[in-house]
Amino acid sequence: MNDRVIIFDTTLRDGEQSPGASMNTAEKLRLATQMEKLGVDVLEAGFPAASEGDFDAVSSIANKIKGIEVAGLARTSKEDIDRAWEAIRAAAKPRIHTFIATSDIHMTYKLKMSRDEVIRKAVEAVRYAKSFTENVEFSAEDGSRSDRDFLCKVFEAAIESGATTVNLPDTVGYAIPQEFGSLVKYVMTHTPNISKAVLSVHCHNDLGLATANTIAAIGAGARQAEVTVNGIGERAGNTSLEEVVMALHTRPNFIPVATGIRTDQIYPTSRLVSMITGIIVQPNKAIVGANAFAHEAGIHQDGILKNPMTYEIMKPETIGLSKNKLVLGKHSGRHALREHLKDLGYDLSDEEIQLVFVKFKELADKKKNVMDEDLEVIVTEGILRTTDIFRLEYMHVTSGTTVMPMASVKLLINDRSVRGAGYGNGPIDAVYNTIAKLTDTGSELLRFSVSALTGGTDAMGEVTVRLRENGLLALGKGADPDIITASAKAYINGLNRLEYLKSHPVVATEGL
């Protein structure tokens, strides 16, 4: 390998722009810790000027994560750059990422600025950011639809002003791989000072080509890829980290470049992102989907048994998918639990282990074999949701062929206990009606789905809901061996996320 590609992860910033995917600060910190373990080079922690919540999350991450670069996004205004710097200044390696659009469509209709004005803004922003840190990235938003020579001119000016990375985004996912690769080559050969900066790419997946475009760009000389775990992000999402990394890892002869990613952390990170955001990974998703290593056809199974290389281009262990997923039972002790959680990427304090241990024992009493997925749920629900406003204390449901389904529910609302009862068309409807009454929510349930987390009839049911209130969207997730309890947990999780969004209003997204 003669070259290194910088992996810039934007799951916490662009990924969080997926509808309903908002995360609170504790969740972002947990994810950031995992990203560090995964080995990303740069972590874009958020857009500090967007909201108080974003600012808090970015500064908490900058205070805690010391092994990798932490970036904060800013438009080209001084206020945004001040806010970004304030949030990231405690990081060991802070990076200010400033951007402005460079396509004629964006400049004419959105910014209402001339080309010269845009260059001036870019230069001023980079210079200003440079007064705080050496490490400044400049992005030409909608770069793939920009005039090529103008794009090179903007990059040249940004580098001249001190940008150490210049980023070429395919903001609307419009590019085609050959075209994007040739654009990258053009930029490499027509930006006179390009050797003084790293050329980065940032692709969206509107045509399903984000990974292909990113790989084409790396082949053409780009040396930073901006990606998200599971490819989550605005609209159809961003380039998926795991796809780019595994494509490079699996085909080193084609593009001889390396990344610093610990591939065995890919699957645990993917699970964590899905658990925290509530966004389910589609089963046929490359690398991390449930079916990615499942061989259904008889001919394939036969071949795999004779030699896995017949139909498997990657080993499941390489991405951290352990073959032996059976973990603990009710006789397992605290030490075994702690060690196993460590293997899964959870380095918990004694107090947290104790909390998880109690829940684990409760589950092991109901379920013979406790699997990795079960432990992840216990950790997510038991540790990351401790700041929730609404918490389920107790619920009881009666339903059957001849009775009207009825639920009685006890909740803690900001530590105040409330209880109530209600009817419904089915047991879940009865529980939801009761919770809605107790929480006085004005939200609307847009989607409800349930699936089994693992195999077997004693598996935990995993419920995902999508809620909307006054234009705010939130996903909620809950799991439990009892699917009615899982449904209640998911609803309450969604309501907590809505409360979080209400108390952390977005103040600035213009220009994103």
Q: How far is the CB of 38 from ligand KIV (least distance, A)?
A: 21
Rounded Cα distance between 164 and 226, Å, is 15
Q: 139 or 270: whose CB is closer to ligand KIV? A: 139
Q: 303 or 511: whose CB is closer to Zn ion? A: 511
The item of Zn ion, ligand KIV, none sharing an interface with residue 367, based on CB under 5 to 8 Å by kind, is: none
Rounded Cα distance between 256 and 221, Å, is 11
Give backbone dihedrals phi and psi of 134, rounded to 5 degrees, phi first: -70, -25
How crowded is residue 437: how many other Cβ atoms within 10 Å of its Cβ? 14
Tell which positions 116-175 bind ligand KIV, by CB under 6 A.
139, 141, 167, 169, 171
Q: Is residue 267 close enough to count as binding ligand KIV by CB under 6 A?
A: no
Give the residue closest to Zn ion by C-beta: 14
Q: How far is the CB of 107 from Zn ion (least distance, A)?
A: 18
CB 487 within 8 A of CB 478: yes
Contacts of 113 by beta carbon, 8 Å cutoff, 6+ apart: 107, 121
Q: How far is the CB of 114 from Zn ion (least distance, A)?
A: 24
Q: 23 or 321: whose CB is closer to ligand KIV? A: 23
Give the interface size with ligand KIV as a residue count (CB under 6 A): 9
Rounded Cα distance between 68 and 318, Å, is 23
Rounded Cα distance between 508 and 122, Å, is 19
CB 233 within 8 A of CB 17: yes
Q: How far is the CB of 193 from ligand KIV (least distance, A)?
A: 21
Rounded Cα distance between 361 and 425, Å, is 34
Q: Is residue 464 close enough to count as binding ligand KIV by CB under 6 A?
A: no
Site string for ligand KIV, 8-27 (x = CB under 6 A): ------x-------------
Q: 124 or 429: whose CB is closer to ligand KIV? A: 124
Residues engaged in binding Zn ion (CB under 5 A): 14
**Residue 295: both structure tokens together:** 């061989």
Burial class for 334, CB neighbours closer than 10 Å (0-12, 13-18, 19+): middle
Q: Look at the chain and count its residues.
A: 512
CB 463 within 8 A of CB 478: yes
Q: Is residue 214 close enough to count as binding ligand KIV by CB under 6 A?
A: no
Q: 235 or 419: whose CB is closer to ligand KIV? A: 235
Distance between first and last Cα of the chain: 36
Q: 137 or 381: whose CB is closer to Zn ion? A: 137
The item of ligand KIV, Zn ion, none sharing an interface with residue 141, based on CB under 5 to 8 Å by kind, is: ligand KIV
Please give the residue ranges that form the binding site for ligand KIV (CB under 6 A): 14, 99, 139, 141, 167, 169, 171, 202, 204
